[in-house]
Chain A
Amino acid sequence: MLKFVIRRVGQSVLTVFGVLTAAFFLVRLAGDPVVLLLPVEATEADIALMREALGLDEPLIVQYLTYLRNAAIGDLGMSLRQQSPALGLVLERVPATLELALTAFVLGIVMAFGIGITMRLSTSRRLRAAILWVAFIRQAVPVFWFGLLMILLFAVHLRWLPSLGRGGIEHLILPALTLATYELALYLRLFNASLGEEQKQDYVRTAYAKGQTRARVILRHMLPNALLPLITIAGLNLGVLLGGTVVTETVFSWPGVGRLIVQSVSQRDYPVVLAGVLVISLIFVVINLVVDLLYAVIDPRVRLA
């Protein structure tokens, strides 16, 4: 197990390094930030001065190495637009993103779990078909449109909940539900498919042959096996949620990381973009590490591999 953990952590460090490198060069492809930063009437001398101040006159490879060295100690430079450290700007936004993403994720997965198991335990095929149909419809509806509908219904017509910004729990409900129902639909369909797959396995027949009851065959035998694919997808998806619920954050004017990155890209505020990408990739990598470790806890076969 220790060897497994060490190997996975090593892979994670490599991944972060790869992301840092890719992000650095991709941002440089996007164009020269100096031109955007200075007024149109700036002289050649002004531009050269600005370049020197930002370290942009160095060869690209030197800039890259400087960037790596600074990144290693957590210094990702100053924002080009606001006079504060880029990493600080991103970290300020992290709690808002975490709040929204985690709430939506937990809501989605708990509901999927409850409804999925109930669906399997029930012998009614119609119930299952009806639930899956609703889930399918929800999955087909774009997030921004569903969010707007929620605002229209609960904020505009019923006036129960605020439509914009971040504040108390009442601000959280609409964006969280918008995301959570999408997550719910995804996990429910996946969970149902993987339970259905497990139902065909030979060990299920063995359990029935022992005289086990249907409910306990499902809960004791099928459930742990059916969780494995669910954990993989949920882990990947949590990463996606944390990194960029851009659309939801925009629709509900939620001050999260996703919105910050989108704004910074359009302003060519590349230190902020790099800081954002780094933070998100770190979160992503940590989650995947946790998923793999969870896998090993549930499935003894992974531990040996």
Chain B
Amino acid sequence: MTAHAADPAPPLLEVRDLVVELATPRGPLRVVDGVSFTVARREVFGVVGESGSGKSITMLAVMGLLPPGMRIAAGTIRLDGQSLPDLDAERLRRLRGGRMAMIFQDPMTSLNPVLRIGTQIAEAVRLHHPDWPAARVHARVIEVLGLVGIPDPARRYRQYPNEFSGGMRQRAMIAMAIANEPDLLVADEPTTALDVTIQAQVMAVLAEARARTGAAMVLITHDLGLVAEVADRVAVMYGGRFMESAAVEDLFRVPSHPYSVGLMASLPRLDRQGEALYSIPGQPPGLADRPAGCAFHPRCGLSADRADCVARVPELRRLGAGAHAVACHFAAETPAWRDSPMVHPPAPPPAAAPAAAARGSGLAVRDLCKEFRVSRPRRWGSDRLHAVAGLSFTIARGETLGLVGESGCGKSTLGRVILGLHQATRGEITLDGEDISRRRARRHRRRMQVVFQDPYASLDPRMSVFEIIAEPLRINGVFRAERVAEMLAHVGLSPDMAERRPAEFSGGQRQRIAIARALALDPEILILDEAVSALDVSIQAQIINLLKGLQRRFGLTFLFIAHDLSVVRHISDRVAVMYLGRIVEMGSREQVFDRPAHPYTQSLLSAVPVADPAARRARIILEGDLPNPLHPPSGCAFRTRCFKARPLCAEAPPALEDRTGGGQLTACHFPEPGMPAVAAMAATRQG
């Protein structure tokens, strides 16, 4: 049973023993399996879990928005004492969007593309205030648009979703949700689709909106950092059940379920580095094959298949007098296991760098430019888009260069140009001193391979795994069946899986297949374009450890392109930060992460939520969106969002040079190594 917080006031939301079933031809499957929790007024309750854990379905059940085929099979849901499943459809409908409102993950698809933004928000207002005259509805929409920080709301009212950036759309979604001052806000991965600086903006808007309306919030997310920064209490969900539920400080200080411990140990951290990641073995179970007993036992590092874990479902029980509750038969043993070397594997020895260096000088990029012609909407002619605007860097043999930046900064284009998938407009790419940027360089392709972000889209669904891995070997005339089996073994897959098709594998396994394909030709350089971004935390740790192992083993050179700074810190030797097609800062990972000198790097680092509630801090929130890359600002491209911008920044673009000594390159007229104090910065912005 859920532990109650010791407060006398009745909770706003009370969910007890909720069971949600999915009807299938082979009988019902339990998607949510006996979940109980309460949410107090004004409280933020976080629900963390990986995909398929049932976290979204739990809250969709509360909202009465279960997808077809699913139904509430047992349990009670009370909002302010009123039982929601007992309401008829009409009365439940009136509560939705009124007293309880929901914000969804993907603002790109959650708004209707053919209706104006204002119309869609007005619809929500009118539904719950049918007596309001049109002028009052209109005024309210303008008011909430202003409240969520959308500039020029009267003009934005008349625009369509495709005229809004991702961050602006999510603001519009929030405006829609708070328009009727709900008591309960359900936010389902509200910032997962957004860049980190935009995420920081949106979370600030959400906090402001909650402060104004006094709404309680249920935050559903896979992001432990976000929960640590925002939530008051947290539940960890796995296999349709709550594994642990606690005040946020307690959960992060003393995680007490082996799953929570594993999640936290497998998370790369922005504030730490060096140690190897713990990785929870195996895959999260599908709905149809949830294990009996404790759903987590096959992957548990503590259980080792003890009889109790296999036979009995553990109840969620309080640990002590407080509200910390854990669903584990052996919770008493967790503390000792938590601090053992099993959970904190020692860092592996560094790669044998000298041997690798002997093979050549590595990859060098000089003054590389890539322009695209973009036809102008509503006008004649075309503009040049400088996706990559004069980059120079080198990656030594066996080294990992992390390339970070927000969407649209040109990092993926850069990867494609290096691979030869795009022809460079200007500049030079050399591999061991040999120019590979010209067309005839096709024969160099096999020396560089790539792994893409989406393992669902980047593998041909009609080919067997064997054919997928064999294809590059056949193209280059070096096919041997044993090589395919060997590659599968390298990435931790069994060779007897070779005849299956990608659809039969989970996301993590597919990414292993993609890595096997990339390594089949024994390349020297691997370009990893967001290769772990689409994976759940526990799987992400497996793939990162796999990549690091393969790098050591084969002396591989990595260009690791990612937007997740924590992962980049974990895996990289050196780091380059990109903004609007240019590198703004580059150095060793310690330099870039511990003593960033460029205001953009500082803002990015400050925007990342850290999975430690004790480290909650004020953050630099960049204003506005990325400028239109077709018309970049004069001088320093970052100046329009920079808290330090001065007149010089508009006049001259700063060169990327060593401004602080020690080899760290920074493209800023006013570099100051180290994280600035936020208070001082706010003053600068006003002054």
Q: Which positions in A face B, CB cutoff 8 Å?
A: 1-4, 201-203, 205-213, 220-221, 224-225, 298-301, 304-305
Cβ B96 vs Cβ A203 within 8 A: no
The 6 closest A-B pairs by CB, nearest first: A211-B97, A210-B97, A300-B160, A202-B109, A210-B124, A203-B112
B534 smallest CB distance to A (angstroms): 18
Say yes or no: A3-B379 contact (C-beta < 8 A), given A202-B110, A205-B110: yes
Q: Residue B114 contacts which of A1, A206, A298, A304 (CB distance < 8 angstroms)?
A: A298
A16 smallest CB distance to B (angstroms): 23
Say yes or no: A210-B96 contact (C-beta < 8 A), given A3-B379, A300-B162, A301-B162: yes
Q: How far is the CA of A209 from the CA of B95 in the complex (A)?
A: 9
Identify 15 new A-B residue pairs, CB closer than 8 A, beyond the known A211-B96, A301-B160. A201-B109, A203-B113, A205-B65, A209-B97, A210-B123, A211-B98, A211-B128, A212-B93, A212-B123, A212-B127, A213-B93, A221-B115, A299-B114, A300-B114, A304-B162
Cβ A3 vs Cβ B380 within 8 A: yes
Q: How far is the CA of A194 from the CA of B110 in the complex (A)?
A: 18
Residue in B closest to A305 when the chains form the complex, CB atoms? B377
Residues 75-105 of B, flagged 1 when their CB comes within 8 A of A and 0 if not, give 0000000000000000001111110011010
Cβ A225 vs Cβ B97 within 8 A: no
B624 smallest CB distance to A (angstroms): 21
Cβ B106 vs Cβ A202 within 8 A: yes
Say yes or no: A225-B93 contact (C-beta < 8 A), given A3-B378, A211-B127, A304-B377: no
Say yes or no: A205-B104 contact (C-beta < 8 A), given A213-B93, A301-B113: yes
Listed by A's residue number, 7 A-B pairs whose Cβ atoms lie within 8 Å are A207-B112, A209-B65, A211-B94, A212-B97, A212-B123, A221-B115, A225-B114
B543 at interface (Cβ–Cβ under 8 A)? Answer: no
Main secondary structure of the interface of A (DSSP, over half): helix
Q: How far is the CA of A221 from the CA of B113 in the complex (A)?
A: 9
Q: How far is the CA of A221 from the CA of B390 in the complex (A)?
A: 46
Cβ A210 vs Cβ B127 within 8 A: yes
B125 smallest CB distance to A (angstroms): 9
Cβ A203 vs Cβ B93 within 8 A: no
B531 at interface (Cβ–Cβ under 8 A)? Answer: no
Say yes or no: A1-B93 contact (C-beta < 8 A), given A212-B127, A221-B115: no
B32 at interface (Cβ–Cβ under 8 A)? Answer: no
Q: How far is the CA of A206 from the CA of B110 in the complex (A)?
A: 6
B379: chain A residues within 8 A (beta carbon): 3
Q: How far is the CA of A300 from the CA of B101 in the complex (A)?
A: 27
B111 at interface (Cβ–Cβ under 8 A)? Answer: yes
B213 smallest CB distance to A (angstroms): 16
Say yes or no: A221-B96 contact (C-beta < 8 A), given A301-B162, A304-B162: no
B176 at interface (Cβ–Cβ under 8 A)? Answer: yes
Residue in A closest to B162 when the chains form the complex, CB atoms? A301
B63 at interface (Cβ–Cβ under 8 A)? Answer: yes
Residues 123-135 of B, flagged 1 when their CB comes within 8 A of A and 0 if not, give 1100110000000
Cβ B377 vs Cβ A203 within 8 A: no
A228 smallest CB distance to B (angstroms): 8
Q: How far is the CA of A205 from the CA of B106 in the complex (A)?
A: 12
B123: chain A residues within 8 A (beta carbon): 207, 210, 212, 220
A224: chain B residues within 8 A (beta carbon): 114-115
B63: chain A residues within 8 A (beta carbon): 209
Q: Residue A211 contacts which of B95, B111, B113, B114 (CB distance < 8 angstroms)?
A: B95
Q: How far is the CA of A291 from the CA of B461 in the complex (A)?
A: 35
Q: Please report which residues of chain B, range 29-55, place their CB below 8 angstroms from some CB of chain A when the two chains form the complex.
A: none
Say yes or no: A211-B93 contact (C-beta < 8 A), given A202-B104, A299-B113, A299-B114: yes
Q: How far is the CA of A211 from the CA of B114 in the complex (A)?
A: 19
A1 smallest CB distance to B (angstroms): 7
Q: How far is the CA of A203 from the CA of B95 in the complex (A)?
A: 19
A200 smallest CB distance to B (angstroms): 9
Q: How far is the CA of A300 from the CA of B494 in the complex (A)?
A: 50
A4: chain B residues within 8 A (beta carbon): 378
Central interface residue in A202, A206, A208, A220, by most chain B CB within 10 Å: A206
Cβ A206 vs Cβ B380 within 8 A: no
Q: How far is the CA of A305 from the CA of B378 in the complex (A)?
A: 9
Residue in B closest to A208 when the chains form the complex, CB atoms? B65
Q: How far is the CA of A221 from the CA of B109 in the complex (A)?
A: 13
A225: chain B residues within 8 A (beta carbon): 112-114
Central interface residue in A205, A224, A299, by most chain B CB within 10 Å: A205
B160: chain A residues within 8 A (beta carbon): 300-301
Residue in B closest to A223 when the chains form the complex, CB atoms? B114
Q: How far is the CA of A212 from the CA of B115 in the complex (A)?
A: 15
Q: How far is the CA of A204 from the CA of B63 in the complex (A)?
A: 14
A10 smallest CB distance to B (angstroms): 12
A97 smallest CB distance to B (angstroms): 34
Central interface residue in A2, A209, A305, by most chain B CB within 10 Å: A209
Q: How far is the CA of A3 from the CA of B375 in the complex (A)?
A: 12
Q: Please report which residues of chain B, range 373-396, place their CB below 8 angstroms from some CB of chain A when the two chains form the complex.
A: 377-380
A177 smallest CB distance to B (angstroms): 34
A304: chain B residues within 8 A (beta carbon): 162, 377-378
B113: chain A residues within 8 A (beta carbon): 203, 225, 299-301
Cβ B109 vs Cβ A208 within 8 A: no
B385 smallest CB distance to A (angstroms): 16
B101 smallest CB distance to A (angstroms): 7
B106: chain A residues within 8 A (beta carbon): 202
Q: Please report which residues of chain B, range 292-318, place their CB below 8 angstroms from some CB of chain A when the two chains form the complex.
A: none
A299: chain B residues within 8 A (beta carbon): 113-114
B109 smallest CB distance to A (angstroms): 4
Say yes or no: A206-B96 contact (C-beta < 8 A), given A1-B378, A300-B162, A304-B162: no
